[in-house]
Amino acid sequence: MEAVMLAQTQTKPVQNPAFAQSKRFVQVTSGLDAPGFTMTFSRDEEIYGEGEEAEFVYTVVSGVVRTHRVLDDGRRQISSFHFAGDVFGLEMSAEHLSSAEAVTPCEISLVKRTVLDRMTQENPGCARQLWELASRELSHARAHLMLLGRKTAVERVATFLIELGDRDEDDEAAVKIPMSRTDIADYLGLTIETVSRTLTQLERDGAIELPNCRQIILRNRAALDRLDA
């Protein structure tokens, strides 16, 4: 779905001859429409670390990825979760400014930054697309700032559930929760206990239902929207 959006915003299908030529040699084409290859990562495996050289740009083919930063004493803040089609790890700086790990087993497509750099020089639309990606992330980060700085625990959890629900492609009654309570807590700037308590509170209030801890039914979407503020 994100991949579709990217394709739409792409000015033209990239007529770099080197690209067309290499197409048959690469294992896969990423959401970036650039030659690359794929890798698989198992649960909790590191994809790249903060401070490492930003050699590649990544696209989620399947699975879920988290990007985060940690303080010396272990406090962790997850800045975002990335789902199928999402691009991540795209940095302007030479080094990655956050770490990325697999939340679930996942398949990731990698594109060399040098390849991307060359493409941007030849195709102005490509540079624009990169700008668009950075922009989208910035927009998400801004929304997240409001959540972390000003929202209460219930509001944070409600916002999170709506966000997840919107991304869940197969819109069954139940939203699948791919990440642990710890991940949710570190994303929302709360503790696992508060996340858990808030979820059961929302269940008592009839807003959601918790068949098991990895599946949530949004029973009263309006109530959640009200909390989303």
Q: C-beta of 60: minimal distance to its own copies in Å?
A: 18
Q: Would you tell me which residues interact with DNA (CB under 7 A)?
A: 152-154, 180-182, 189-197, 199-200, 210, 212-214
Binds 194, which of DNA, its own copies, none (CB < 5 to 8 A, cut-off by type)?
DNA
33, 56, 98, 101, 153 from 178: Cα distances, Å: 27, 25, 21, 13, 20
Candidate ranges 38-46, 81-89, 123-131, 217-225; the one touching its own copies (CB under 8 A): 123-131
Choose among its own copies, DNA, none what residue 200 binds, the Cβ cut-off being 5 to 8 Å by kind: DNA
Site for its own copies contains 96 (CB under 8 A): no
Binding mask 191-210 for its own copies (x = CB under 8 A): --------------------
| Residue 225 CB, nearest approach to its own copies (Å) | 12
| Residue 72 touches its own copies, criterion: CB under 8 A | yes
The interface with its own copies within residues 31-60 (CB under 8 A) comprises none
Contact present, 86 and 63 (Cβ < 8 Å):
no
Q: Which is nearer to DNA, 134 or 153 (CB)?
A: 153
Residue placing its CB nearer to DNA in the complex, 27 or 200: 200
Handedness of CA 161, 166, 168, 171 (dihedral sign): positive
Q: Which residues pair with 176 in a beta bridge?
A: 215
Residue 121 binding its own copies, by CB under 8 A: yes
Q: Rounded to the nearest whole angstrom, what is the least distance from the CB of residue 182 to DNA in the complex? A: 5
Q: Looking at residues 125 to 144 of the shown chain, list those that interact with its own copies (rule: CB under 8 A).
A: 127-128, 130-132, 134-139, 141-142, 144
Q: Report the interface residues with its own copies, using CB under 8 A.
A: 69, 71-73, 75-77, 79, 91-93, 97-98, 120-124, 127-128, 130-132, 134-139, 141-142, 144-146, 148-151, 186, 188-189, 229
